[in-house]
Amino acid sequence: MDYATLLQVLDTTVRLATPLLLACLAGLYSERAGIFDIGLEGKMLSAAMSAGAVAALTGSAWAGLLAGIGASMLFAALHGLAAITFRGNQLISGVALNFLASGLTVLIAQAMFKQGGRTPPLSGDARFNPVTLPGAEALRDVPLIGPLYYEVISGHSVLVYIAFLIVPFTWWVLFRTRFGLRLRAVGENPAAVDTAGVSVIGLRFAAVAITGILCGVAGAYMATALQAGFGREMTAGRGYIALAALIFAKWRPVAAMWACLLFGFFQALALRPDVVQSVVQMKVPVPLLDALPYILTVLVLAGFVGKAIPPRAGGQPYVKER
Amino acid sequence: MAASADNMGRQATAAPFAIELKGISKAFGPVQANKDINIAVPKGTIHGIIGENGAGKSTLMSILYGFYKADSGQILVGGQPTPIPDSQSAIRAGIGMVFQHFKLVQNFTVLENIVLGAEEGALLNTSLGKARQVLKDLAQEYGLNVDPDALIEDLSVGHQQRVEILKALYRQADILILDEPTGVLTPDEADHLFRILRGLKDQGKTIILITHKLREIMEATDNVSVMRRGTMVATVKTRDTSPEQLAELMVGRKVLLEVEKTPPAPGKVVLSVQDLRVRDEHGVERLKGVSLDIRAGEILGIAGVAGNGQSELLAALGGMTKASGTITLNGVPLPLSGPGSDGQSRREAGIAHVPEDRHHHGLILDFAAWENVAFGYHNDPKYQKSALFMDNDALRADTEKKMATYDVRPPIPTLEAKNFSGGNQQKIVVAREVEQNPDLLLIGQPTRGVDIGAIEFIHKQIVALRDAGKAILLVSVELDEIMSLSDRIAVMFDGQIMGMRDPASTDERELGMLMAGMTGTSDAKLKKEAY
């Protein structure tokens, strides 16, 4: 594999890792606050549909993004209502919302556009188009670094850069701010937060709302940047892969980024069987490559990455007791 | 107790009240947890609140800390009517609470736990910096030394409690409520705590101490209020009362505080344990080679701070966990792992077990009393109707009989276990195990969460079983209980037996040293002589 091919694969890695990263950070906020969210998938899917539909109708990718965030937050609010207010089972609520999103997106898309459950193909301003970073053209001919900057780092949509900037921001929020301290505390021991006179319910809803926003961005990215429109089940399990990455990263933001890049790299390899075959000098069945990210997910979830200790109060509704 | 109101009235002119509760009532559904409670706590005193489980002490304090809202009544802080709808208001009013189960975030540092909820601004650095300085001052002022950067999970229970106190002081609490603060402490740590509390009192803080231990009330408080079944029955000056009088007020009748027992007549060895070892799920050795003998007709008490291997010892002997080493019952070796090492086999062999954790191991709370009475003995021929069916009628009749003998209230076999009080639940478990007439009874924390009346009864049962020539292994974190019941005392620390003592010739000081892992008997003796 030559350097140019490697850069192509890495470029694809970054593009494919972005929705995983956004969903993974979304899950991080929720789970750090003690609310398990298996419904990342459904939120992304609903956001993708809404973003695709609104972008197609208005011709504006930004309007699509807002619609995506809105749809995702609606699902997040439902999850919050079930898990926080009514102290329901968080897994069941998440699974239910995933089913709801799976059916509802296709139904609405079909009712609106009559294109077999898809939204119309997007072009121009209805999509987030690649941004060329300053100096990319000028540096292009510098050996090694130039092509790396031009191919891998420059030339993505603005949502990619936002996603990667959210990583240090999340670290800063979690470990350097009052909100972060309280958020982490409420996921570890909500009683400590409650007796300190801070609202457990308020904090958990705030966390779930952030999850909604980030999943909304992830879904909108799928429909208006990575691809040109919404298609049935287009998230293809990315919500679950993001959860696996979250566990892999032990609920830490920077590690989450590396985990998502790893999963993205496997997804990128699946798109380039020729590259894989030239590297391993063997014919590799394409379906096996397609399955790689999912196999990795299973391995991670089965605990092959060492002991991952989730936030201690994760999954437990908070019942005030003395 | 009529004089008490006058006493308080006279004090009002001298020292104002830190807290006054007037006519506080609170009901949970049909249960009246607090009925028209009146109490006045003078500033700068240590005020004890004592009462049995379910007497309503905790509900009252939860109302004071804004966890529950009273149905009626008024709270006055420093003479001012102060509504306390939530914990934030309580903190603002200068009330701090140290809960029985600490409200700390285990993987946070001491500093982070202290600032949580009382941060200076949106960013942490300034808050943490200020807290570090305040902590240094508090440590100097009150002798409350804790490493600010230590993680809570690395601290001993005593230090964790200090963090809770520091949390309250950091929020500038003038009134400190401590709920059963010594349950998890060694006698030494408890002494230290009381020294701290007296220091706080000297600085003008007001302390409310909730406990069921009469000794602590007598030792540490200035005044004491007694609660019974949701009402405040009396408030007295501590120096004018006695443990016997307080116990009587708590229960409403005369109570025997001392256990009556005759000298033991130990017979042959019933249980012999050699080099017993247990590892937990992480592979950490929790029991590190324990060897002991228990004879017929004796009670062997295991003293120790919770978490030093006592639970594992009971679990291994009772067939609840895998272990290595050898145990023999009446000379017959019993397997410690694999087939025949389960709880039911142990019961068939003649080892009955009253587990430490009544709610998780002793009972199924959602099951009826008569079903709970069958557990562990459900294969007993007397409960079988045929090869396939159990004789539920016989079981219910049997339960009714046991309930009558053990004075379980209400005596309704079909009532679910969760609907009995702690004491009555424990009586059900004890009845089940003791009435099988075992050769050896393992009994863990027999009176945890059990009211004084039931404690008296359960203690009598244990002594009666001993006098019937049975062997008893008693595990308890209540040193008083161990001292008064045991014929021999083994002290456990860090999975090992630190020493074997005769209750007649030892004292709390010596046992406390052993519980803290200090074997220096000569040291203890020297200290004793120095006194």
Q: Report CA Rg, chain B.
A: 25
With an 8 Å Cβ cutoff, is B69 touching chain A?
A: no
**Rounded CA gap, A197 and B173, in Å?**
14
Mean pLDDT of B412-432: 89
- Tell me if B337 sits within 8 A of B321, measured CB to CB: no
**B35-49, B342-356, B434-448, B512-526: which range is least confident on average?**
B512-526
Q: Is the pLDDT of residue A296 over 90?
A: no
| B87 contact residues in A (CB cutoff 8 A) | 194-197
CA quadruple B390, B392, B398, B403: dihedral positive or negative? positive
Do B108 and A188 count as a contact with CB atoms less than 8 A apart? yes
How much is the pLDDT for A322? 46
pLDDT band at B280 (very low <50, low <70, confident <90, very high): confident
Residue in chain A lying closest to B61 (CA): A322
Distance CA B513, CA B59 (A): 36
- Of B358, B361, B348, B344, give the one whose Cα is nearest residue B438: B348
Class of domain B269-530: alpha beta
CATH class of segment(s) A3-301: mainly alpha
- The predicted pLDDT at position A304 comes to 67
d(CA B372, CA B364): 7
Give the closest residue to B198 by CA, choosing from B220, B179, B167, B219.
Answer: B220
Does residue B226 have a pLDDT over 50? yes
Q: Per-residue pLDDT tens for B326-358?
A: 999 999 999 999 888 898 899 999 999 999 988
Q: How many residue contacts between A and B have a Cβ separation below 8 Å?
A: 77
Tokens 């994760």 correspond to what residue? A314
CA closest to A192 among chain B residues: B103
Q: Which residues contact B116 (CB under 8 A, 6 or more apart)?
A: A181, A182, A185, A192, A193, A196, A198, B105, B108
Q: Are A196 and A188 in contact (CB under 8 A)?
A: no
The pLDDT assigned to B10 comes to 42
Exposed/middle/buried for A310, CB within 10 Å: 0-12, 13-18, 19+?
Answer: middle
B116, B119, B124 ranked by CB distance to A193: nearest: B116
- pLDDT at position B4 is 45
| Nearest neighbour of A197 by CB, restricted to B91, B124, B127 | B91
Contacts of A180 in chain B (CB under 8 A): 124
| Helices and strands (DSSP H and E) totals, chain A | 14, 0
CB–CB contact A197 B87 (8 Å)? yes
B50 backbone dihedrals φ, ψ, rounded to 5°? -125, 150
Q: State pLDDT tens for residues B352-400.
A: 999 998 888 999 999 999 999 998 888 888 888 888 898 999 999 999 9
Q: Which residues of A touch B (CB under 8 A)?
A: 175-182, 184-185, 188-189, 191-198, 312, 320, 322
Pairing of strands B175-179, B206-211: parallel
- DSSP annotation of B308 reads S
Task: Return the percentage of chain B with pLDDT > 90, whole number.
Answer: 58
What pLDDT sits at residue B531?
36
pLDDT value, residue B410: 86
Name the percent of chain B in helix, strand, coil, to the closest 5. Answer: 40, 25, 35
3-state DSSP helix/strand/coil % of chain A, to nearest 5: 70, 0, 25
Confidence of residue B528 (pLDDT cuts 50, 70, 90): very low
Contact B65 A320 (CB under 8 A): no
- Quick check: A320 pLDDT over 80? no
Would you list the DSSP string of A151-202? IIISSB-HHHHHHHHHHHHHHHHHHHBHHHHHHHHHHH-HHHHHHTT--HHH
CA neighbor of A32 nearest in space, from A270, A312, A316: A312
Contact criterion met (CB < 8 Å) for A192 and B122: no
**Nearby residues of B86 by Cβ (< 8 Å), 6 or more positions away:** A197, B66
List chain B domain ranges.
Answer: 3-94+174-251, 106-172, 269-530
Q: Which tops the pLDDT comparison, B264 or B409?
A: B264
| Full DSSP string of B228-245 | ETTEEEEEEEGGG--HHH
Cα distance between residue B96 and residue B260, in whole Å: 41
Q: Does B87 touch chain A (CB under 8 A)?
A: yes
The answer to whether the CB atoms of A192 and B103 lie below 8 A apart is yes
Least confident of A160-164, B26-30, B114-118, B266-270: B26-30
How far is the C-alpha of B16 from the C-alpha of B78, rounded, in Å?
Answer: 7
SS3 B486: coil
pLDDT, tens only, B7-20: 444 444 445 899 99
The span from the CA of B388 to the CA of A81, in Å, is 48
CATH fold, domain B3-94+174-251, is Rossmann fold (3.40.50)
Most confident of A135-149, B106-120, B210-224, B239-253: B106-120
Q: Is B528 exposed, middle or buried (0-12, 13-18, 19+ CB in 10 A)?
A: exposed
User: In chain B, which residue's Cα lies nearest the Cα of A188?
Assistant: B105
Residue A208 corresponds to which tokens in the numbers above?
């779930």
What local confidence, expressed as pLDDT, does residue B526 receive? 40
Helix axes A158-176, A253-271, angle to 10 degrees: 150
Q: What is the mean pLDDT of residues B63-88?
A: 91
Would you give the DSSP letter of residue B320?
A: S
Residue B395, Cβ density class (10 Å: 0-12 exposed, 13-18 middle, ≥19 buried): buried
Look over chain A and give the mean of its residue pLDDT values, rounded to a whole number: 93
Helix then strand count (H, E) for chain B reads: 18, 20
Beta carbons of B103 and A177 less than 8 Å apart: no
Q: What is the mean pLDDT of chain B?
A: 88
Residues B467-479 have a mean pLDDT of 92
Mutate to test the interface with B, among A195, A319, A320 (most CBs of B within 10 A): A195
pLDDT at B256 over 60: yes
Beta bridge partners of B273: B292, B327
Three-class secondary structure of residue B515 per DSSP: helix
Identify which has the larger pLDDT, B192 or B300.
B300
Asked if A189 lies within 8 A of B97 by C-beta distance, the reply is: no
Site from A174, A181, A201, A312 to mutate, B interface, most B CB atoms within 10 angstroms: A181
pLDDT in tens, A12-45: 999 999 999 999 999 999 999 999 999 999 999 9
User: In 3-state terms, what secondary structure has residue B289?
Assistant: strand
Q: How many CB atoms lie within 10 A of CB B506?
A: 19
A130-149 pLDDT, tens per residue? Answer: 998 988 888 888 888 888 89
Min Cα distance A300 → chain B (Å) is 20
CB contact under 8 A, A181 and B121: no
> Which ipTM value was assigned to this complex?
0.90
Domain locations in chain A as residue ranges: 3-301
CB contact under 8 A, B117 and A193: yes
| Contact present, B42 and B223 (Cβ < 8 Å) | yes
| Those residues with Cβ within 8 angstroms of residue A92's Cβ, 6 or more apart along the chain or in another chain | none
Query: According to the model, what pLDDT value does residue A181 have?
Result: 97
Element (H, E) at A25: helix A3-32
How sure is the predictor about A228, in pLDDT bands with cuts at 50, 70 and 90?
very high
Tell me the CA end-to-end span of chain B in Å, nearest whole number: 37
Q: Does B110 touch chain A (CB under 8 A)?
A: no
